[in-house]
A and B are shown apart, each in its own frame.
Chain A
């Protein structure tokens, strides 16, 4: 899996999520959203925010679009990425992201009610595509993330 060309040469903030997660992944997403808002308030617009789903079998692009829109995420500098499990898994392994299905069960209407135990992570990637730092996504210190982005981007 490779990132789209449009993201090359930019500072990237990547969060790893699945959309059926009601607690941790929305916290991670919200922390990224707050960081983006703060950067924009300072006139810094060159940072790209990415949410990469590790639930390739359900989080199709249409689902990711709804997940973003309901949270007022603007697509000018945000990308929500999906790919097949076959292509996503090697990238997740390289980034040391684990996602393990747990406690899944079928509900009355026959649909699968599923949960995933996963790494809670936001990663900071530099302009050359190198991983520079990892943070605990749901509880990241926002000032620290903000300052690291500014340092990396020389903003």
Chain B
């Protein structure tokens, strides 16, 4: 009975935690900038906020969005990304993205780069993003 109860708790919690998936990063040369993309799924009943990203590959990582104004494309810093309850937020080319600046080394196609995503509720989630 205890085993069944523990299993049910485990099953319930696995389906109800914030998840990051489909992560990838563009190639970039040492000293230059690149972008990280991923999807955040929030199956919980509470909103969560992504407010910071850290990595050994760069000490300057910002949350960004690409925008269009008068047929020109621009990019600007965003303070945070809020993921509403029971929704997903997709960071993708031409939209929200993570700008990774002043790379400490070259990152080439096929490499995998580790990033730590900091959320207000879920805490820190470590991901490995494939370079492609």
Contact = CB atoms under 8 A, between A and B. Distances in A.
Contacts of B99: 22-23
27 contacts: A19-B33, A20-B32, A22-B34, A22-B35, A22-B64, A22-B99, A22-B100, A23-B64, A23-B66, A23-B93, A23-B94, A24-B66, A24-B73, A27-B93, A67-B29, A69-B29, A70-B29, A70-B32, A103-B76, A113-B60, A113-B101, A115-B74, A115-B76, A117-B69, A118-B72, A138-B93, A139-B94
Given A23-B35, A115-B75, A138-B73, 7 more contacts: A20-B32, A22-B75, A26-B26, A27-B93, A70-B106, A103-B77, A115-B76
A100 interface: yes
A21 interface: yes
Contacts of A67: 29, 32
Q: Which 10 A-B pairs have the closest CB atoms?
A: A117-B74, A22-B35, A66-B29, A70-B29, A120-B73, A22-B33, A117-B72, A70-B27, A24-B73, A22-B99
Q: How many interface residues does chain B have, given as a range?
A: 20 to 34
Interface of A: 19-24, 26-27, 63, 66-67, 69-72, 98, 100, 102-103, 107, 111, 113, 115-120, 138-139
Interface of B: 26-35, 60, 64, 66, 69, 71-77, 93-94, 97, 99-102, 106-109
Contacts of A115: 74-76
Contacts of B27: 70-71
Contacts of A111: 102
A136 B30 CA distance: 28
